Amino acid sequence: MKPQELKDEVAKRRTFAIISHPDAGKTTITEQLLLYGGVIREAGTVKGRKSGHFAKSDWMAIEKQRGISVTSSVLQFGYQGKQINILDTPGHEDFSEDTYRTLMAVDAAVMVIDSAKGIEAQTKKLFKVVKQRGIPIFTFMNKLDRDGREPLDLIAELEDLLGIEGYAMNWPIGMGKGLVGLYDRVANRIELYRDNEAGDKYLPLNADGELDSSEPLTNESIYRDTLGDIELLNDAGNQYDLKKIMRGEQTPVFFGSALTNFGVQTFLDHFVNMAPEPGPHRLLDGTELSPTAPDFSGFVFKIQANMNPSHRDRIAFVRIGAGEFERGMDVTLTRTDKKLRLNNSTEFMADSREQVQTAVAGDIVGLYDTGNFQIGDTIYAGKTPVEYEKLPQFTPELFMRVTPKNVMKQKSFHKGMQQLVQEGAVQLYRTYTTNDYILGAVGQLQFEVFKFRMQNEYNSEVVMSPIGSRVARWIDPDQLDEKMSSTRNLLVKDMQGQPLFLFENQYAERWFADKYPDVKLTAKL
Ligand code: G4P
């Protein structure tokens, strides 16, 4: 690809994640977006728990059983000349670690909020991560077809609970059964919830931002209430500031109803214009790499085994940070300096008919992996080594001792343990002297998924005995004396062989610190 061509292709990419609290409507809005992308033909094909179909993004059996999305997936489609990549993120809080890493691979985030509930716990957590990244955050206040909270309250809550300014791009005229439409401050028109008698969907506003007085709607009190709100927003609300939006300090707010497909296209149209194209990525050495740098490079932000249950595949998800990806290309894995030929790749899209021919910076490719990759790995194609900055690690808080139920099946047990652990959703530790397997995770559900997958994918039934919630603290090996270990601070080693204590609680940690004042303990390595 010529430099200008690469530049043009990269400029088309819009790569983002949708974050929300479970049930706010993320799946429903994703589905509507896919409809606009022409990827699916009718609503209900992505997810219809009632019809027994599941999201294309819901791959694994456990997701079907529990009706939740366990792992992130990637959907890709074209819209208005742009190439959209949506990285799905599980809403369940136990999967936040996976979600956090996914947020490292996107250039923008869309926050879906249930307008009846406002900002909920999981949204708040995910927001924090996005905020740290300093990427733009777009807000969709969903479920306007139901009676919800006062729109002004919802905007105020963004500021009060999340510390981000909200700028209303449009404003509801009524809600629930009384929903009339949206007052569009940007396009200077009213978008009707139901077409009026003439079949119009949009009514133009004059230079004062009002309807022509002949419009019947002007006689409705709800319309005048809206004008009052708009006046208030214009006079006392936040000023639209694109620079702040790009830094994630202000969020453009859109109202709508994903279920009735109202306001979604308006949102999408603005989003594709406003959301940034892929920007430079920070490297480990502190420099930045431009996405249009000629040589391909990317980083693995997620590894998933057996997306297709009939194959024993592992897929490493790579965010392309720079250049162009080509099938069969030779790359170097920075961590091991090993040369690899990438002839088994897959790109992610919701429908194979829509296959794109090239993948460039901003896109996500999935590489079939035979055990080469770890989360956080960089691969690069040029002569100069590249290493992307480290992905954040989250210290596990829950721990389980794991043993195979059938001691005769040690082989499949060890294989499953090694492979699933490498995906990074759970951490593996071994007890210092007896080498027992200890798993650590951020949430309980991760253990359940682990157990389920060991049984289903590796035919290995495991016994898990909880050792409960623990505080993990690493110790300098030079300072370690095995006698320091007790039941209240279990001594284990991590996958890299580094020793750490799993303290029963903070008191145990404090007691330890008092007893060994010279020993330095660290939360993360
Ligand atoms: P999630 O992915 O964020 O967890 O939410 P999801 O889209 O699954 O939506 C959760 C529930 O909210 C679903 O109903 C969905 O139909 C409903 N919903 C989504 N958007 C809207 C909206 O704009 N208005 C209204 N009224 N409801 C909306 P469910 O009954 O729990 O699931 P299902 O059986 O319909 O799949």
Q: Residue 3 annotated as binding?
A: no
Among residues 319, 324, 331, the alpha carbon closest in space to that of 295 is found at 324
Q: Please state the atom number of ligand 1 nearest to the C-alpha of residue 24.
A: 3
Is any atom of ligand 1 closer than 6 Å to the C-beta of 392? no
Tell me how far the alpha carbon of residue 254 lies from the centroid of ligand 1, in angstroms.
18
pLDDT in the model for residue 91: 59
Identify the H or E element spanning 29.
Answer: helix 26-36
pLDDT in the model for residue 292: 97
Widest CA span in the chain? 87
pLDDT in the model for residue 307: 54
Helical spans, DSSP H, in 192-301: 221-236, 242-247, 264-274
pLDDT in the model for residue 47: 46
Tell me how far the alpha carbon of residue 257 lies from the centroid of ligand 1, in angstroms.
10
Is any atom of ligand 1 closer than 6 Å to the C-beta of 291? no
How many other C-beta atoms are found inside a 10 Å radius of the C-beta of residue 304? Answer: 23
Q: Residue 25 annotated as binding?
A: yes
CB 237 within 8 A of CB 162: no
Among residues 416, 286, 312, the alpha carbon closest in space to that of 368 is found at 312
Tell me how far the alpha carbon of residue 48 lies from the centroid of ligand 1, in angstroms.
10
Q: Please state the atom number of ligand 1 nearest to the C-alpha of residue 257.
A: 23
- In angstroms, rounded to a whole number, what is the distance separating the alpha carbons of residues 110 and 90? 14
Q: At 31, which amino acid appears? A: E
- In angstroms, rounded to a whole number, what is the distance separating the alpha carbons of residues 33 and 142? 14
Supply 394's token pair. Answer: 């989250």
Is any atom of ligand 1 closer than 6 Å to the C-beta of 264? no
pLDDT in the model for residue 378: 97
Is any atom of ligand 1 closer than 6 Å to the C-beta of 66? no
Tell me how far the alpha carbon of residue 24 lies from the centroid of ligand 1, in angstroms.
7
φ, ψ of residue 9 in degrees (nearest 5): -65, -45
Residue 331 buriedness (CB in 10 A; 0-12 / 13-18 / 19+) = buried
Tell me how far the alpha carbon of residue 279 lies from the centroid of ligand 1, in angstroms.
33
Structure-derived torsion over alpha carbons of residues 306, 309, 312, 315, reported in degrees to the nearest 10: -30
Tell me how far the alpha carbon of residue 223 lies from the centroid of ligand 1, in angstroms.
28
Tell me how far the alpha carbon of residue 362 lies from the centroid of ligand 1, in angstroms.
29
Identify the H or E element spanning 224.
Answer: helix 221-236
Is any atom of ligand 1 closer than 6 Å to the C-beta of 143? yes
pLDDT in the model for residue 421: 86
- Ligand 1 pocket: which of 28, 33, 257 to mutate (most atoms <8 Å of CB)? 28
Q: Tokens 């920007």 label which residue?
A: 279
Tell me how far the alpha carbon of residue 450 lies from the centroid of ligand 1, in angstroms.
28
Q: Residue 142 annotated as binding?
A: yes
Is any atom of ligand 1 closer than 6 Å to the C-beta of 145? yes
Q: Residue 517 annotated as binding?
A: no
φ, ψ of residue 520 in degrees (nearest 5): -95, 125
Q: Which residue's CA is the closest to the ligand 1 atom numbered 14?
A: 23
Is any atom of ligand 1 closer than 6 Å to the C-beta of 83? no
Among residues 404, 403, 396, the alpha carbon closest in space to that of 431 is found at 403
Q: Which residue's CA is the closest to the ligand 1 atom numbered 19?
A: 25
pLDDT in the model for residue 515: 95
Q: Residue 145 annotated as binding?
A: yes
Instruction: Please tell me the number of Cα atoms within 13 Å of 79 on its side-chain side.
Output: 24
φ, ψ of residue 233 in degrees (nearest 5): -65, -40
Among residues 443, 501, 438, the alpha carbon closest in space to that of 471 is found at 501
Task: Given the cut 0.95, state whether the ipTM is greater than it.
Answer: yes
Residue 294 buriedness (CB in 10 A; 0-12 / 13-18 / 19+) = middle
Is any atom of ligand 1 closer than 6 Å to the C-beta of 22? yes
Q: Please state the atom number of ligand 1 nearest to the C-alpha of residue 47.
A: 36
- In angstroms, rounded to a whole number, what is the distance separating the alpha carbons of residues 421 and 98? 13
Supply 111's token pair. Answer: 């926050």
Is any atom of ligand 1 closer than 6 Å to the C-beta of 20? yes
Among residues 251, 304, 283, the alpha carbon closest in space to that of 387 is found at 283
Kindly list the strands in the beta sheet with 329-333, ordered across the sheet, starting from the edge strand earlier in the chain: 338-342, 329-333, 378-380, 297-305, 314-322, 364-369, 345-347
CB 422 within 8 A of CB 428: no
Q: Which residue's CA is the closest to the ligand 1 atom numbered 16?
A: 259
Query: What pTM value is reported for the model?
Result: 0.82
Tell me how far the alpha carbon of residue 314 lies from the centroid of ligand 1, in angstroms.
31
pLDDT in the model for residue 442: 79
10-residue stretch averages of pLDDT, the chain, 525 residues long: 95 94 89 79 46 40 44 74 85 63 93 96 87 94 97 96 97 96 96 86 95 93 96 95 97 97 96 96 96 97 67 79 91 95 64 54 86 89 95 82 89 89 83 91 82 88 90 93 90 92 93 94 77
φ, ψ of residue 381 in degrees (nearest 5): -105, -20
Decide the pairing of beta strands 202-204 and 189-192.
antiparallel
**Which 8-state DSSP code applies to residue 239?**
P
pLDDT in the model for residue 125: 82
Is any atom of ligand 1 closer than 6 Å to the C-beta of 86? no
Q: Residue 144 annotated as binding?
A: yes
Q: Please state the atom number of ligand 1 nearest to the C-alpha of residue 142.
A: 23
Q: Residue 281 annotated as binding?
A: no
**Which 8-state DSSP code applies to residue 370?**
S
